[in-house]
Structure 1
Amino acid sequence: MITCVVDYTIDATKIVEFERFARRWLELVNEHGGTHHGYFLPAEGASDKALALFSFPSLAAYEQYRRLFGQHPDFVAADKLRDETGCVVRYERSFMRPLLPHDSDA
């Protein structure tokens, strides 16, 4: 399993627009082979930081999902929402390997 962590810098005045964008990606990841663990939005502290975490069974499965970017009409529409509203200032992706409670020591 591989987990993608997306670290967002958002426009704090456009949180409603960011939530609409995020809700759409929650659906898209789950519809296309992944498991979305949610978006984590500002509550206290920095008001312009948000995170998203979602997993795919393998890097190959994630890459298959990524091939839909710029091609699949739902992906294009979700990116258009981000771009037209300006709710995301920048974002950075990193990949992690989760250690889960049921994982063995071996």
Structure 2
Amino acid sequence: MNLTCFIRYQIDPFQREAFQAYAEHWGRIIPRCGGHLLGYFLPHEGSNDIAWGLIGFDGLAAYEAYRARLKADPEGRENFQRAQRGRFILREERSFCEGVPGTLNLQPR
């Protein structure tokens, strides 16, 4: 993976379970559409309204192809609509980062 999309969510802390279900649905949808799902993360300590989603791609072209497949995916569209109906996501920000060689997937020696 050359590119990672970091999605920062501000969520309604009283609807944590709704966001968790939303994230779990992406566990099926994202890989099917071509993304390498690294995981979704809920707040545990500290801030109670910030969650993260991390998705890897081989490059920007792979991300663009993924977005096109995602928009055409019926389950993906339904998951977006679920979030709109439930209003448990208050804000969403995306950042794209590239991994630093020699720091990824290191194993203890």
Using the size of structure 1 for normalisation, the TM-score is 0.88
Residues 1-106 of structure 1 aligned to structure 2 (within 5 Å): 1-101=2-102
State the Cα RMSD in Å.
1.6
SS of residue paired to 2:4: strand
Once structures 1 and 2 are overlaid, which stretch shifts more, 10-19 or 28-37? 28-37
Deviations 1:13-60 (A, max 9, x none): 001100010011122111122211111111111100001111011111
SS of residue paired to 2:69: coil
Shift of 1:99: 2.1
Using the size of structure 2 for normalisation, the TM-score is 0.86
> Which sections of structure 1, spanning at least 5 residues, go unmatched?
none
> Which sections of structure 2, spanning at least 5 residues, go unmatched?
105-109
SS of residue paired to 1:22: helix
* Number of residues of Structure 1 aligned to a counterpart in Structure 2: 103
Shift of 1:85: 0.9
Q: Aligned letter for 1:31? A: R
Between Structure 1 and Structure 2, which shows a larger proportion of helix residues?
Answer: 2
8 Å contact from structure 1 (residues 68, 75) kept in 2: no
